[in-house]
Amino acid sequence: GAMRNISAYALTHVGSLKEAEEAAAAARDAHNESGSIYGQVYADCFSGLIELLQGRLQSALAILHGALALANEGGHARGVPAAAAASYLIAAQYEANEINDVERLTSEYANMITQLGIPDQVINTQIICARVALQEKGYTQACQVLNELRQRGQQIKHSRMVASAWCEQARMAIQHGDINAASRYLSLSEGSAQLLKYSRERWFPTSMRLLLAQERVNEALSQINKELRTAEQEGKLRYVLELHILHSEALALAREHRKSQKELIKAISFAHREGFVRPFIDAGRRVQAAVKECRAVYGDEVPEPFLKALTQHQASDITRTPEATENAETLTKREYDVLQLLALGYNNQAISDKLFISLPTVKTHLRKINSKLQAKNRTEAVMIARKQGLVE
């Protein structure tokens, strides 16, 4: 039974989900026969993880709730099985945006997971803690959580743990509008061959969003299309969902708005059926705005319950300051519109198309925005605007 659990875990991480599913089922049968609660919990954990990776979120939640209950009732409430079950349940609840439950479980189990969990459990849990901190407490607190993850990785000499923290910090820096820092953080993460080999689903979307932020749209589109085909062939439907969202973003920046909306509708349809919410929130304000646009254009193809779930808890990476109102009055309505689109990642041509103004007019507005905010460039303008609460 134990060897089958190990096999299920290993197969999961090399992308062989069908074989992993078979190994986990065999492990569960063996441990049920032997009466090993420890082994049963782990078999259920891996079954739940596989369900999650295959995009079956509701099934994953049911299995992982059962695994944690079994660990607690079977005498392992403060041991390795409970830590493992809690880590995977936290991941599934986060996908469903059940943030209150995530915070409750992390407050109870995060330290235990860090001390007893295997590296992937530690990485995933701490990154979720960082994302919740970003939403609830702000960018500085989120960076502190990631720094603790890096320190833990250095302490146990686990390069992928360190690299994963840098990769997540790059993702947050992109959303924060600091593209230079994001590029540096991502470069630091790419020093780990283990990250690129075994955590590609963490690294690739961040690397593509950096390309989009750098206006290298065609380069990103080519790579996203290839990655999407591979993920579909491997049955990684949770990852496919994220790639559809990413593809939609890239198409929008390429001014393929109809194709972008169709791609987003695909993602919404799958997500609504299975209960995924968080991938849209973590993708940022631009995607959330695009979902609302799709609702206006396509109606019930964007179900109202999904839209409500999406807007109930939206990610926030800024703190409003007293200067916000004063500075907002120095911008004209049109300058404010341009600034909003700039913060969403639109390039000059996309802003021109969106607001029905000429490119020279866009550039004039940007010069005035930089002057009024005392910014050296568009990236700094967005950073200042976010700090002052002018944009989200």
Say which CATH number the domain at 113 has: 1.25.40.10
Q: Does residue 129 sit within a domain?
A: no
Structural domains in the chain (count): 4
Residues 144 and 181 in one domain: yes
Same structural domain for residues 19 and 40? yes
Tokens of 48: 């739940």
Domain co-membership, 81 together with 186: no
Could you tell me if 274 and 359 lie in one domain? no
Residue 177 lies in a domain: yes
In a domain, 209, yes or no: yes
Q: 142 and 251, same structural domain?
A: no
Q: Do residue 206 and residue 240 come from a single domain?
A: no
The residue segments making up the domain with residue 50 are 1-117
pLDDT tens digits, the chain, 392 residues: what are they? 788 889 988 898 887 898 999 998 999 889 888 888 999 999 999 999 999 999 999 999 999 999 999 999 988 888 999 999 999 999 999 999 999 999 999 999 999 999 999 999 999 999 999 999 998 888 888 999 999 999 999 999 999 999 999 999 999 999 888 899 999 999 999 877 777 777 899 999 999 999 999 999 999 999 999 999 999 999 999 999 999 999 999 999 999 999 999 999 999 999 999 999 999 999 988 899 899 999 988 999 999 999 999 887 554 433 333 333 344 446 777 888 899 888 888 889 988 888 878 888 899 999 989 888 888 888 888 888 877 777 76
**Domain co-membership, 159 together with 268:** no
Last residue of a domain, one of 117, 152, 180: 117
User: What's residue 157's pLDDT?
Assistant: 94
Q: For residue 21, is it within any domain?
A: yes
Asked whether residue 1 falls in the same domain as residue 75, the answer is: yes
**Token match 């972008």: residue?**
260
| pLDDT (0 to 100) of residue 327 | 44
Tell me 295's DSSP state.
H
Say how far apart CA 113 and CA 125 lie, in whole Å. 8
In a domain, 56, yes or no: yes
Task: Give pLDDT, residue 53.
Answer: 96
Q: Looking at the structure, do residues 306 and 362 belong to the same domain, yes or no?
A: no
pLDDT computed for residue 175 by the predictor: 86
pLDDT of residue 319: 35
Return the SS3 of 16: coil
Q: Does residue 128 form part of some domain?
A: no
Residues 102, 23, single domain; the answer is: yes
Radius of gyration of the chain (CA): 22
Q: What is the pLDDT of residue 330?
A: 66
- Domain-located, residue 122: no
* Residues 232 and 295 placed together within one structural domain of the fold: yes
4 with 110, same domain: the answer is yes
DSSP string, 142-208: HHHHHHHHHHHHHHTT-HHHHHHHHHHHHHHHHHHT-HHHHHHHHHHHTT-HHHHHH-HHHHHHHHH
Q: Which of 259, 286, 317 is the last residue of a domain?
A: 317
Contact indicator for 97, 131 with CB cutoff of 8 Å: no
pTM: 0.79
User: In this structure, what token pair is assigned to residue 260?
Assistant: 């972008």
* Residue where a domain terminates, one of 85, 117, 149: 117
